[in-house]
Structure 1
Amino acid sequence: MRDQTLFDKIDLHLIRVLHTVLTERSVSKAAIRLGMYQPAVSASLKKLRELAGDPLLVRSGAGMVPTDAGLRMLAPSASILRAAESMFSDARGFEPSSARQTFRIAASDFLDPLFLPQLVAQIKQQAPHCVIEILPLSAESDYRARLAQGDMDVVIGNWLKPPDDLHLGRLFGDEVVCLVARDHPAVRRSSQGGWDAASWLAAEHIAPTPTHPGARGVIDEHLDSLGLQRNITARCPHFGLIPSMVASTLLVLTTGRQYCERYVEKLPVKILPCPVPFPRLLYYQLWHERTHTSSAGRWLRERVKSVAASLQKE
């Protein structure tokens, strides 16, 4: 009888508040994400604590962290929300023009800078009532767990060896090239045949900040396999700012041609061939078995695929 009484006090809104507070680890941030006033979130959290007989979220230094009981509730609460979200939409099929769903897309900023803007535009054009959350692939982002828990719908990026425990869809391949300032000495050397592997390795390179300690990007992973190491003298966590840094320095950025071509007409930079042979950069979208047969999930993945194909044709 007690279990039934407890169950009667739990509604879907409380589950959403629970999951959001635990993932954001902040009442104020959860309120913003939920579109609620902070006192209302605090009142719901108080009710959840009473129901659970546990504080669920406690202070730790300047922030807050979930208790063990709170952590155990993360996966079940995500599963309940996802099931509720898809229960009726999948039963009647996904209708973009009338759907009111949240799509959560995690993406590497190594992508073509036009990719995400065009993806958001296409989704909003076809599904105007849907909410889109673009999430970073950062040191704090365990995308495997977040895909499984329903915190992400798709992850878009490039990997030398994509994880084999997720569904995978190839989007496009790209040639590895170098981006340098127009007056970089490498421009003259390249025209005279002096831009070789030794020159490239010795040059000053700029690279993205690793997503977590010990992480290696696809460029350095491949160099490791060849027993080579480049001279990285600058790192930046914001990939979109790197071309501007390259334009006013002697730094060399090594990445995909499609990305570099977006900046050639905007900045005083030039694309050079990379003297060290690299395999093509391959970009994928990844998703979990949880959304594999979802009509909304399939629709979203088709939009991702469509935008990737349109950018390749430009």
Structure 2
Amino acid sequence: MDLHRVDLNLLVAFDMLMTERSVTRAAQRLSVGQSAMSSTLNRLRKLFDDPLLIREGRGLVATPLAESLAISVGELLTGIDSVLSQRDRFDASSAERTFSIIANDYLTMTFLQPLIARLSTDAPGIRLRIFPTGDDFAEQLRGHRADLLVIPQEAFEDHAEFHFRVLFRDRYVVAVDEDHPEVGDQISLEQFGSLPYLATSSGHRRSLAEMQLDFLGVPRRTEITAGFGLAPFLLRGTRLITLVHERLALRIGEAAGIRLLEPPIRRLQPITEIMAWTSRTDQDPGHRWLRDQLLDLADQQHPLQGRRE
């Protein structure tokens, strides 16, 4: 038998006929006319070269072949239904999947690390590939070379072209060596502009902090420029000051030997971290699960009002 020439809907009709043992009731259950169901029964008889159902009194009686086929056809339809419903199910505890995420070191350390710890026990078959945020992050996402991008909204001008959700906001604080000889519990704007300054960068670009300071016209005596994830560790034993994300500073402050101070710049704005993805993964249950995990972590760590897609 050439399977390509078989209408699998016939098996659905066969299963219903065997269940109801009535053309009329089978037609009603499948929402078709009685004549259409009679025609389908004739096609089934031709397909299997067997009467299948024989009238006996007021009812229909299955032939031995029909009885032998009933269990196999039922199991086959159950299997097909299972395959077709896979898109609506995702069991993280037993799934074997790999997800790729673009995120910088700061986000990986302060935000994604708890997810990594959770996966090891709750979803051991889930693997993450985390890539650094290069200058081509938008093209990486657009070209489906990454599943998810976690990035400051302010650094992603084209974020509205994608699906996105706000995760959390993080403000800037001033970081100095814990034994800084000239800075006490507060730092003045004059000190901020006169003390040696450690500027931060993101890849080959200035960091959002430096862009804001330039926009606000805040003078700095820049002596060193380094990646913003490394900057806090360069302050120990120096007179340097820098701006750092508060979440990162609180996470590594003791190890870096730094103190945190309120910035003397009133109009300094926090950053808004978002996750962005493409339509290709929007409806996939596994990807929805991953995004829900990140939203759950964000809510636990830093609840926000008005998250939007």
TM superposition shift of 1:254: 0.5
Quote the residue 1:260 is aligned against.
Answer: 249
Aligned pair partner of 1:171 in 167, 170, 179: 167
Quote the residue 1:136 is aligned against.
Answer: 132
Letter in 1 for 2:295: K
Percent identity for Structure 1 against Structure 2:
27
Quote the residue 1:203 is aligned against.
Answer: 195
- For 2:163 and 2:177, the matched residues in 1 are separated by 39
Q: Is structure 2 residue 96 aligned with structure 1 residue 107? A: no
Q: Is structure 2 residue 270 aligned with structure 1 residue 274? A: no
Alpha carbons of 1:131 and 1:263: their partners in 2 closer, same or farther (altered >3 Å)?
Answer: closer
TM superposition shift of 1:103: 0.5
Coordinate RMSD, CA, aligned: 2.5
**Secondary structure at 2:191 match in 1:** helix
> TM-score, normalised to structure 2's length?
0.63
Letter in 1 for 2:119: I
Letter in 2 for 1:257: E
- For 2:85 and 2:221, the matched residues in 1 are separated by 52
Structure possessing the higher radius of gyration over alpha carbons: 2
Where does structure 1 lack aligned partners over 5 or more consecutive residues? Answer: 1-86
Alignment of 1:1-314 (within 5 A): 91-111=87-107, 113-139=109-135, 142-160=136-154, 162=156, 163-188=159-184, 190-191=185-186, 195-212=187-204, 215-237=205-227, 239-277=228-266, 278-312=268-302
Q: Is the 8 A contact 2:196 2:241 kept in 1?
A: yes
- For 1:109 and 1:291, the matched residues in 2 are separated by 24
**Secondary structure at 1:111 match in 2:** helix
Alpha carbons of 1:125 and 1:116: their partners in 2 closer, same or farther (altered >3 Å)?
Answer: same
- For 2:230 and 2:272, the matched residues in 1 are separated by 22
Letter in 1 for 2:188: D
- For 1:88 and 1:236, the matched residues in 2 are separated by 52
- For 1:241 and 1:223, the matched residues in 2 are separated by 19
TM superposition shift of 1:96: 0.9
Alpha carbons of 1:312 and 1:220: their partners in 2 closer, same or farther (altered >3 Å)?
Answer: same
Alpha carbons of 1:274 and 1:186: their partners in 2 closer, same or farther (altered >3 Å)?
Answer: farther
**Secondary structure at 1:152 match in 2:** coil
Q: Is the 8 A contact 1:112 1:258 kept in 2?
A: no
Quote the residue 1:4 is aligned against.
Answer: none
Where does structure 2 lack aligned partners over 5 or more consecutive residues? Answer: 1-82, 304-309
- For 2:85 and 2:183, the matched residues in 1 are separated by 56
TM superposition shift of 1:279: 1.1
